[in-house]
Amino acid sequence: MRVLIIEDEKAMSDLIAVKFQVEGFEVEQALTIAEAKAKLLGNGPFDAVLSDYLLPDGNSVDFIEEVRNNPAQKAIPFIIMTNYVEDMNVEKAKQLGVVDVLVKYQTVPAQMVEKVKELVVSSSQGGGQTSPPGSGGPTTPPSDSAPPTGTPPTGTPPPTGTPPPTGNPPPSGVPPTGVPPFGTPPPTGTPPIPPTPA
């Protein structure tokens, strides 16, 4: 992976460059915008450019706008580092495709390396992102889903405490068990009722 560091403070540039080299990057350094242009044209392509905002011969936002006018350099990812965020046109930087703006005094070289690594990985994957949980389409319930509440499944025994039915009901006209049919003589030992005199 190749990175171009544009920083006019030589000691700071060397400190950042060493950290990138330790992490396996091939590093080019530029102290001015003019030097950065020469590096981009002669030593490119680069996987990312890490640039200070205020430079001796201009600012990085105007420089990036000029770079974007070259079709061969439209896709180069830029990260700007500065202690003067309030002085730069952040909206214009976003429109020019600046990926991130790092506050220098809040960011150590190791964090700069991580930012560039994330950027390179994202670019190599085409900027694809995983969908957030719950963003997918409707799900199909499994085939063995439980039946709706209140509908007993087939083969379920009756609720506890309900006696099961016994046999078939007697046909119409047949008295219930224990009641003699109409006209049946009374049981033995019971005196017959005398007829009523006319």
**Which one-letter amino acid corresponds to residue 52?**
D
Q: What are the pLDDT digits (tens) for 37-46?
A: 999 988 778 9
- The H or E element spanning position 186 is none
Q: Is residue 34 part of a domain?
A: yes
Q: Which conformational region is residue 58 in: left (phi greater than 0), alpha (psi within -120 to 50 degrees), or beta?
A: left
Domain that includes residue 68, residue range? 2-124
* CA gap 44, 184 in Å, rounded: 120
33 in a domain, yes or no?
yes
What's the CATH number where 34 sits?
A: 3.40.50.2300
The total number of structural domains in the chain stands at 1
**Residue burial 143-181, b: 16+ Cβ < 10 Å; e: rest:** eeeeeeeeeeeeeeeeeeeeeeeeeeeeeeeeeeeeeee
| pTM, rounded to two decimals | 0.62
pLDDT tens across 88-134, in order?
A: 899 999 999 999 999 999 999 999 999 999 988 887 776 543 333 33
Say if 76 falls within a structural domain.
Answer: yes
Average pLDDT in the chain: 76
pLDDT digits (tens, 9 = 90+) for 8-34: 999 999 999 999 999 999 999 999 999
